[in-house]
Amino acid sequence: MYRRSLPQINLSIERNTDKVPCDGKYYLFKDGVILKIYCSKAKADEHFKKIVDESGYKPPKVEPSNQTNEALDRFLSDRIIFHAEGAKYRGKGGRGR
C-alpha cells in the first residue's frame, strides 16, 4: 500500500489502497478524480511535483522552537557521564593481558 497526498490542493498518488485496484500501478488523483495511471513511482512523483509547482502551493513556514529536546539533552548528559566514569568499571590492562 502506498499513498502520498497533499490535502491542501486535493492531490494524491495511491497504489493498492481501498480506492484503487491492487494491480501495482500508481494512480494520480486530483479533486477525487483519476488524472493518470503510471507503472512507475518516479513518473507519478514527477507529475505530482509538476502539479504542485503549477498550483503555486507553498508549505507554511514552521518557526523553530526555543524548547530544548529533553531526550537529546538526557542522552548527551548520559554520554558525558559514561565517558567520565566508565573507565573505573573496566578491568585493568588491555586486550590479551
Domain ranges within the chain, ordered by starting residue: 2-55
- pTM comes to 0.63
Percent of the chain with pLDDT strictly greater than 90: 60
For residues 63 and 19, the answer to whether their CB atoms sit within 8 Å is no
- For residue 12, give the C-alpha cell: 494524491
97 residues of the chain, pLDDT tens digit each: 999 999 999 999 999 999 999 999 999 999 999 999 999 999 999 999 999 999 999 988 888 766 667 888 888 888 888 888 876 666 665 565 5
For residues 30 and 11, the answer to whether their CB atoms sit within 8 Å is yes
Q: What is the CA radius of gyration of the chain?
A: 25
